[in-house]
A and B are shown apart, each in its own frame.
Chain A
């Protein structure tokens, strides 16, 4: 056995060892200072403490020093401990409807994946439509988007990744060198990202935003209203994404018959469509129907949880299967984010931040909409989209109350762009796997992603200004 000697200078080793504890010490010191300092004019003591918690969570969410869910747990502990909200109020927020809707949606998505239905749909669509380089690319792009309408975009990316890998290999594409290889993995990542904002189910960030909106204002956004507002934008972004990708990376592939052989081989490996797949598909269809037509009356969470009960009552899944497909950390993350948002709003901290930062000079509704959407789309490139909502939305709602803009509309201005992470692997898991394929470099992603971000932001603001008033969603309250 060999003994390894680290030959780096001693000061480098000491500095590296000290970095993490030093980070926590500095963060704790900043937190204590913010709590202990005299409250600035116009800010209550509770508001000051809420801002101190907010800053600690912001730093932890951006730095990723601890998992996102643990940061949320920290907020859950600090909010009642510092008297920003009472214990009863804090833990009651944890049982918010949005949290249970997200839980139900994730269990439903887990059941779809476990049954093999999503895999079968994906293979059949690619096999049927992917007969030429252009249609194969389009089928991956649109399929990723379509599946992200009905289940978590992250789960879609994870599911489609091995198939796209096999296709690339089947076509003999060289990692890092083949433009068509880049196109396929970009189509996978961007399809998931764009599709993920199409409905409530894509990234679960919209339900989180609605949860914060409801706690702060009592207002809500319905499943169908959201889809009607955002769906045309999704179509425009898909068109723009396809156009940009095919201009950035002109395809060098003329024939995809070998990819077709890969898909046929995978399809042959599947058994006949089972009762479980039919039944899970049926439950999913019925659930979406109920969300659209009875969402307002019955409540989105109640419908989602009824679907979960159906899955178990019909013996379509076992608890063990669901445990493997659902990450329970999401409950902590989203519960904590709602608690933090409510604490900022109820303590008056959000309003104080608004006055301090943008309240003096941004007074036109379109300008506020543009600023929040810009902040949201660029912050989401560097941090989790749920964290972006937790940070921006309480401030945004505070701003909406101050000027004449609908809080629901401002929720859109943050929730939709928060999902549009195109630029970096750390922005969203779909980008991370696209880069891990080695077909796309970080540089490719940053270049293409930046242009796509600008296109998405401009399109989004144009839709808000010209299309939304036509469906009764003007800037005004």
Chain B
């Protein structure tokens, strides 16, 4: 079965993105995979900041890191739940996925491993000068993926 991949944003995916992905899957007669990637790097970064700069011991730093990861995981379940509800309403076959790791690596893995025909991604709005110096994860996926990649830009506030 053909698949459409929706990669969810950690700071909340807009309803229009979910509507588009579900609508696209229905139009193509495909199943929908919703992927939520846990940004372990962020929690690790906070852990390092606390131990290296804050000089607090391993236990409070570890507890803090775990609290952050627990919250991200919870948010992931909520986001996946939102997509599932929409997919059920539209009678689209749905598969939720939650992965630990890098955004680009995990998205490409899902695209390659699951025969995805189109991937729907969200990227943050960037300043012009930042665009010049760096490439967003979503654009990086688009450059490397062997399928159609649709990118939405996250609204501010």
| A contact residues vs B (CB 8 Å cutoff) | 2, 4, 7, 64, 67-69, 106, 110, 113, 152, 154-155, 157-159, 161-162, 165, 169, 174-177, 204, 323-327, 329-330, 333, 384, 425-426, 428-429, 432-433, 436-438
User: Which residues of A sit under 8 angstroms from B63, Cβ to Cβ?
Assistant: 158, 162
* Contact pick for B113, options A2, A155, A327, CB 8 Å: A2
Q: How far is the CB of B17 from chain A (nearest CB, A)?
A: 15
- Cβ–Cβ contact A175 & B75, under 8 A: yes
Taken together as a complex, chains A and B put the C-alpha atoms of A7 and B58 apart, in Å, by 38
Q: Does B115 contact A (CB under 8 A)?
A: no
Whether B57 pairs with A325 at a CB distance below 8 angstroms is yes
A325 pairs with B56, CB closer than 8 A: yes
CB distance from A379 to the nearest CB of B (A): 14
A4 to chain B, nearest CB (A): 7
A327 near B57 (CB under 8 angstroms)?
yes
Once the chains bind, are A162 and B50 in contact (CB under 8 Å)? no
Measured CB to CB, the closest approach of chain B to A108, in angstroms, equals 13
List of B residues within 8 angstroms of A106 by Cβ: 55
State whether A177 touches B143 (Cβ < 8 A): no
Indicate with 1 or 0, residue by residue over B7-31, a CB within 8 angstroms of chain A CB atoms.
0001110000000000000000000
User: Is B46 a contact of A433 with CB atoms below 8 Å?
Assistant: yes
Contact B11 A436 (CB under 8 A): no
B112 at the interface (CB under 8 A from A): yes
Assess the A436–B60 pair: CB atoms within 8 A.
no
Contact partner of B46 (CB less than 8 A), chosen from A165, A169, A324, A432, is A432
Q: Which A-chain residue is minimally distant from B75 (CB atoms)?
A: A175
Which residues of A sit under 8 angstroms from B50, Cβ to Cβ? 154, 158, 429, 432-433
Q: Can you name 7 A-B pairs with beta carbons within 8 Å?
A: A154-B50, A154-B53, A155-B54, A158-B56, A158-B63, A323-B57, A325-B59
Minimum CB distance partner of A436 in chain B:
B46
A151 → B minimal CB distance (Å) = 10
Contact B60 A113 (CB under 8 A): yes
Count chain A CB atoms within 10 A of each CB in B46, B56, B61, B112 and give the residue with the most.
B56
Question: Per-residue 0/1 for B128-157: is the Cβ within 8 Å of any A Cβ (1 yes, 0 no)?
Answer: 000000000000000110000000000001
Q: Give the top 5 A-B pairs by smallest Cβ distance, nearest first.
A: A154-B54, A324-B59, A429-B54, A330-B55, A162-B67
Q: Does B64 contact A (CB under 8 A)?
A: yes
Contact A428 B57 (CB under 8 A): no
- Any chain A CB within 8 A of the CB of B71? yes
| Known contacts A154-B54, A325-B56, A325-B60; is-contact A436 B143 (Cβ 8 Å) | no
Q: Is the pair A327, B56 in contact by a Cβ cutoff of 8 Å?
A: yes
In the assembled complex, how far is the CB of residue A324 from the closest CB belonging to chain B, in whole angstroms?
Answer: 4
Q: Does the CB pair B68–A436 fall under 8 Å?
A: yes
Tell me, in angstroms, the Cα distance from A113 to B12 when the chains sit together: 34
B51 and A4 contact, CB distance less than 8 A: no
Question: Once bound together, how far apart are the Cα atoms of A64 and B53, in whole Å?
Answer: 10
CB-CB < 8 A to A4: which residues of B?
105, 108
Report the bound CA distance from A333 to B55 in whole Å: 9
Give the nearest-CB partner of A324 in chain B: B59
Q: B38-56 CB contact bits vs A (8 Å, 1 = yes)?
A: 0000110110011111111
